[in-house]
Amino acid sequence: MEPAVWVLGALLAVCGHWWAEASLTLEQEIQDKTAVRSQCWMTEEFTVASDCSICDPFQLKTNSECGVTGFIEQVKCTTIEKTVYKSCRSALMEKLVFWRFVASMIAAAVILTIVVVFRQRTLDRNALEKVRKQIESI
């Protein structure tokens, strides 16, 4: 391999590692901020006071639980009778993201199939032209 390829590969590896480290640090900061608040729902029984719903713009700025998934639910801890917010995942949003992924994979498959068919036809045409020229030269 050429030295330029090695340098480019090393650069990509270093940048990828740096990006992953930054992402993990950001996630840890969010978890640390959330841990400061009361998380009684992690240690004791709770009941769901309000179902999982999307955060409004004000809640996104003020409530750290909204920053994790963009959805929160209100839970009531049974032993201390305290109502707190908890980050949650919306089943509807998860389903929407899944179907977007499936649609993008189908679209990619169709596009790549068209590219392969076009490439195969071009190669076949070139091979036939080559054979035709060889036959003409006889």
Please answer whether residues 109 and 103 qualify as being in contact, where contact means their C-beta atoms are separated by less than 8 angstroms: no
Read off the pTM: 0.49
User: What are 5-39's pLDDT values in tens digits?
Assistant: 565 566 555 555 555 555 555 556 555 554 444 67
CATH topology for 38-89 is 3.30.720
Please give the DSSP secondary-structure letter assigned to residue 48. E
- The full set of domain ranges for the chain reads 1-36, 38-89, 91-138
pLDDT tens readout for residues 62-114: 888 888 888 888 888 877 777 888 888 888 888 999 999 999 999 999 999 99
- Distance, in Å, from the CA atom of 56 to the CA atom of 76, rounded to the nearest integer, reads 21
Strand partners, 89: none
Report d(CA 27, CA 16) in Å as an integer: 17
